[in-house]
Amino acid sequence: MPWGGGNRCTACGGTVYHAEEVPCDGKSFHKSCFLCMVCRKALDSTTLAIHGQEIYCRSCYGKKYGPKGYGYGGGAGGLSTDRGERLGIKQEETKTHRPTTNTNTSKFAQKFGGSDKCRRCGDAVFAAEKIMGAGKPWHKNCFRCAKCGKSLESTTQTEKDGEIYCKACYAKNFGPKGFGYGQGAGALVHAQ
């Protein structure tokens, strides 16, 4: 090759020249090969989700690796209250969601420069996936209530001591307590 060789495309194995290269997580792709492994949609930095050695669009990644179980993906009326007792499944106590303090950064962040670190998992948070809450950056998937694990939005989160909570858990754990609170409208009782 008189012009010199390029890197190898991770998807097709062909030579990737600089003008057509899309670098991702230390690998090279042709622009035409930088596609979701499932639906084959073209990807970019805002739609990319990486799992191990595979790349996906956010939609396919969510379907393949997102939450599973009763109440997810069942369609209208798909929520079930069956807890599996008839099958011999024993229910564990509800565990509170605990933040992790992973100090490792992704290979991508190490190679291409640092960025903000997620308050929950400690990995790099890039602009396309960043949500700000309690004055700190979070991944969209890490932006969950510290007690119940419910996914939050900037309008539904509350903050205490640098941690984020849904409004229900915040009220239950840190709201006012005592006579006349939490009994519904008109429940304030006057002492005689």
Q: Which residue has the tokens 């990644």?
A: 61
Q: Kindly state the tokens that stand for 178.
A: 């005592």
Amino acid at 22: V
* pLDDT, position 74: 47
For residues 62 and 107, state if they share a domain: no
For residues 50 and 109, state if they share a domain: no
Residue 38 is part of which domain span?
Answer: 7-67
What is the tens place of the pLDDT at every residue in 65-88? 877 655 455 455 555 555 556 555
β-strand 157-160 against 54-57: which pairing, if any?
A: unpaired
Distance CA 43, CA 17 (A): 19
Q: Kindly state the tokens that stand for 81.
A: 């209250």
Using a pLDDT cut of 70, give the percent of the chain over it.
Answer: 65
Nearest-CA neighbor of 130 among 138, 122, 121?
A: 138
For residues 57 and 104, state if they share a domain: no
* pLDDT, position 99: 53
Tally the domains of the chain: 2
- How far is Cα of residue 138 from the mean position of the Cα atoms in its chain? 9
Strand partners, 138: 131
Does the residue 131 lie in any domain? yes
Q: What is the CATH number of the domain that holds 50?
A: 2.10.110.10
Task: Spell out the residues 6+ positions from residue 20 whose beta carbon is closer than 8 angstroms to its own.
Answer: 30, 31, 32
